[in-house]
Amino acid sequence: MAFLHKLSKASSLAGASLIRRLSNVPDNTVYGGPKPQTPNQRVTLNQLRQKYKKGEPITMVTAYDYPSAVHLDTAGIDICLVGDSASMVVHGHDTTLPITLYEMLVHCRAVARGAKRPLLVGDLPFGTYETSTSQAVDTAVRILKEGGMDAIKLEGGSPSRITAAKAIVEAGIAVIGHVGLTPQAISVLGGFRPQGKNVASAVKVVETAMALQEAGCFSVVLECVPAPVAAAATSALQIPTIGIGAGPFCSGQVLVYHDLLGMLQHPHHAKVTPKFCKQFARVGDVINKALLEYKEEVTNGSFPGPSHTPYKMNPKDVNGFSKELQRLGLDDAASAANEAAVEPEKMNMVNTGSN
């Protein structure tokens, strides 16, 4: 029995070693190591319906990558939308049209790895759902299966879009509709223009939202419409409305992560940042300041200093290393190694001199 116990213990240690080598968890001798987290329950459609019935505002943020998704998780945001606006915000295009399904799936997967609590919604990009209901359902399935999303969002309220939304819902996939300013339709809208500013346009917004509800959408985004139009649509519907540039009378609000943080101060981003966006921070200024300080410290040799040079060799190994370098005819390298070991605070000066 003792032999079997030892054998079992040895096997367990070997297995643990194998798992450690194969693990993608950062080694805490190099990185700080993973921090334990208490995962919160994923937000569900039922929970959103309960918030809506109670009159509690729903929070949505559009994000595109793992770090931003983690921030949304920490903040307790209800819905994370992986928007095709990544085309403009992340890829630098002037419109949402160029982004591909492949690129959207990359963003979706990154967000899904970071956001464990919010309901995850992926946009159907332009050109991936307009041809037929079959194409629309196939694209929606990929957003869930390959992108790790919980639901999809599609734009517009034409009969073909209503039919597509209905087909996707019937395929068992939750759908958010999107009316008002629909950026994928800028070709027919004549640019990024607010909608619902006259009687006919306002009525169309409400009727389209109601048609999307009838098709089975669980929520509708209202973008860039006057507050009275958003209020009317919210009153007429029995599903939540999520406003963006639509005033305070919606069931919830959505903004883009980079916009609300004031992350980008570049002229191109200023050109595509909407007027309705409130900057809750000036993160871009903080980033620029930090990068300038980093550049300055690297240039003047103060970074990295001793406190950021944590990996050491014991004196015996330093001596052996130096002898090996000398044996190889690298006397200057041996001297540099010895000096760095004895006086680490001067290491930057040594490195600068050797270059």
302 assigned to some structural domain:
no
On whether both 321 and 256 belong to a single domain, the answer is no
304 preceded by a cis bond (ω within 30 of 0): yes
**Residue 276, pLDDT score:** 83
* Number of domains comprising the chain: 2
119 beta partners: 79
Domain endpoint, select from 260, 280, 300? 280
**Residue 190, pLDDT score:** 53
pLDDT tens-digit profile, the chain (355 residues): 554 454 455 544 444 443 334 344 455 555 554 444 444 588 999 999 999 999 999 999 999 999 999 999 999 999 999 999 999 899 988 888 999 999 999 999 999 999 999 999 999 999 999 999 999 999 999 999 999 999 999 988 889 999 999 999 999 999 999 999 876 666 555 556 777 899 999 999 999 999 999 999 999 999 999 999 999 999 999 999 999 999 999 999 999 999 999 987 666 556 656 778 899 999 999 999 999 999 999 999 999 998 898 888 999 999 999 999 999 999 999 999 999 988 664 544 545 554 4
306 assigned to some structural domain:
no
Cβ-proximal residues to 279 (8 Å cutoff; 6+ apart), any chain: 259, 260, 261, 262
Q: Give the position of tokens 């949402």.
A: 96
**Residue 36, pLDDT score:** 46
Which residues constitute the domain of residue 317?
312-345
Residue positions annotated with a catalytic role: 223
**Residue 274, pLDDT score:** 72
Rounded to an integer, what distance in angstroms lies between the CA atom of residue 239 and that of residue 235?
10
Domain with residue 250: its CATH number is 3.20.20.60
166 assigned to some structural domain:
yes
**Residue 269, pLDDT score:** 59
DSSP secondary structure of 68-121: HHHHHHHHT-SEEEE-TTHHHHTT--SSSTT--HHHHHHHHHHHHHH-SSSEEE
351 assigned to some structural domain:
no
**Residue 41, pLDDT score:** 81
Q: b/e per residue, 103-116, with b = 16+ CB within 10 A?
A: bbbbbbbbbbebbb
